[in-house]
Amino acid sequence: MTAKVLEVEDLVVTIHTASGVLTAIDGVSFELHEGEVLGLVGESGSGKTLTGRAILRLLPSRRMAIQRGAIRLNGEDITKFDETRMRRVRGRSVGMIFQNPTSHLDPVMTVGSQIAESIRFYEGLPRKESLVRAAELLRQVDIPDPAVRLSSFPHEFSGGMRQRVMIAAALACRPKILIADEPTTALDVTVQAQILRLLLGLRERRGLSIILVTHDLGVVAQTCDTVAVMYAGRLLERAPKRNLLRGTLHPYTMGLIASQPGKGKPREELPSIFGQQPSLSDLPEGCRFHPRCDYSEAQCRAAVPPLEEVDVNHQTACRRWRELAKQKILGAA
């Protein structure tokens, strides 16, 4: 196995609200190796974005805080960093791109300046030279006529091109880790595939490690090496992609896989997991998935299931995985 570049351990993120303190991320742990693409999947509201932003210590609201846990970047715990040191992590060690490229680019600044500005700020390069670097970055993200496009504004690009621009801007100061928060959700399918291919190409060329936040298992199947499944702020399963897609050991992941539109069943109605993800202010006891789980028992309600190491690199937070695997409900067929 290659070197561990990022390790998140027992991360807890809380939100202070008028009605009390909610725990949005509850004890999430995972690690990212050099050159790895880790898929972070889960339903809307499961805490994927929050996890990604917590790694950069850029939580979306001042009422949120990292309550506990460690985020180790090359062995150093960045939760202990002050704001100045943290700023040097952002963009230079860890970059981030977002779901909606249109709103995440400044509408009144040329894309060239937006890509070049962190180079100018951190490397003190003059405007001209930083723009040369920006053109080179645009070329690397496959934008035609990069030198000309430097002086275009975001609204003069298509959605897919804007996402490329955002990738170029995020990679300007050569971070080794990229957090991509649903980078293709706002794009149509063909463009989606192009962007994913671009990310994989960049991983090869730059030795980038990527955390790919998505709710689309199709995207996971195309791009990821390993997958972490989140539900209501907790990690339910973590495994290499192949193990997870072929032989999941958690009923929630099984439901997710079954509810993906596949090639084999074109007209059939898609099965879905009944019910809804619980709200943070009203979380069930024990396993958070148990009210929606077809296989839940008394023990599932009684206590929180730990993330259990089943196999090398495969972990599940289901108490009943052994039984269910024996009954051929879970696990490889």
Ligand X SMILES: Nc1ncnc2c1ncn2[C@@H]1O[C@H](COP(=O)(O)OP(=O)(O)OP(=O)(O)O)[C@@H](O)[C@H]1O
Binding site for Mg ion (CB under 5 A): 49
Query: Counting every residue, how long is the chain?
Result: 333
With binding defined as CB under 8 A, does residue 118 bind another protein? Answer: yes
Give me the least distance between CB of 222 and another protein, in Å please. Answer: 25
Q: How far is the CB of 44 from Mg ion (least distance, A)?
A: 7
Number of residues that bind another protein (CB under 8 A): 31
Which region, judged by CB under 6 A, interacts with ligand X, from 46-54, 68-76, 103-111, 166-174?
Answer: 46-54
Nearest approach, Cβ of 145 to another protein (angstroms)?
A: 18
Q: Candidates 43-51, 88-96, 151-159, 281-289 — which segment interacts with ligand X by CB under 6 A?
A: 43-51
Neighbours of 144 (CB within 10 A): 9
302 to each of 250, 288, 311, how far by Cα in Å? 18, 11, 25
Residues with Cβ within 8 Å of 261's Cβ and at least 6 positions away in sequence, in order, are 270
Buried-state track 199-226, b at ≥16 Cβ within 10 A, e below 16: beebbeeeebbbbbbbbbbebbbebbbb
Q: Does position 18 bind another protein by CB under 8 A? A: no
Minimum distance, C-beta of residue 280 to ligand X, in the bound complex (Å) = 5
- CA–CA dist 251, 248 (Å, integer): 8
Among 24, 37, 170, 224, binds another protein (CB under 8 A): 170
Candidates 78, 96, 287, 324: give the one binding another protein (CB under 8 A). 96
Q: For another protein, which stretch binds (CB under 8 A), given 8-16, 23-31, 56-64, 322-330? A: 56-64
| Closer CB to another protein, 8 or 97, in the complex | 97
Stretch of 15-23, 115-123, 275-283, 321-329 contacting another protein, by CB under 8 A: 115-123
In the sheet that 314-316 helps form, which strands lie side by side, from edge to edge? Answer: 94-97, 177-181, 209-214, 37-41, 226-231, 234-240, 314-316, 308-311
Q: What DSSP letter does each residue of 168-217 carry, written as one string?
A: HHHTTT--SEEEEESTTTTS-HHHHHHHHHHHHHHHHHHT-EEEEEES-H
Give Cβ neighbours of residue 243 (< 8 Å, ≥ 6 apart).
311, 313, 314
Structure-block tokens of residue 82:
């002050």
Q: Longest C-alpha distance within the chain, in Å?
A: 67
Rule CB under 8 A: say whether 155 interacts with another protein: yes
Choose, by CB under 8 A, the member of 117, 136, 142, 308 that binds another protein.
117
Among 45, 69, 91, 160, binds ligand X (CB under 6 A): 45
- Give least dist CB 91 to another protein, A: 3
**Tokens 């997710």 sit at which residue?**
256
Q: Which is nearer to another protein, 58 or 258 (CB)?
A: 58
Encoded amino acid at 324, one letter: L
Residues that bind another protein (CB under 8 A): 56, 58, 60, 87-92, 95-96, 98, 100, 103-109, 117-118, 121-122, 153, 155, 166, 169-170, 172-173
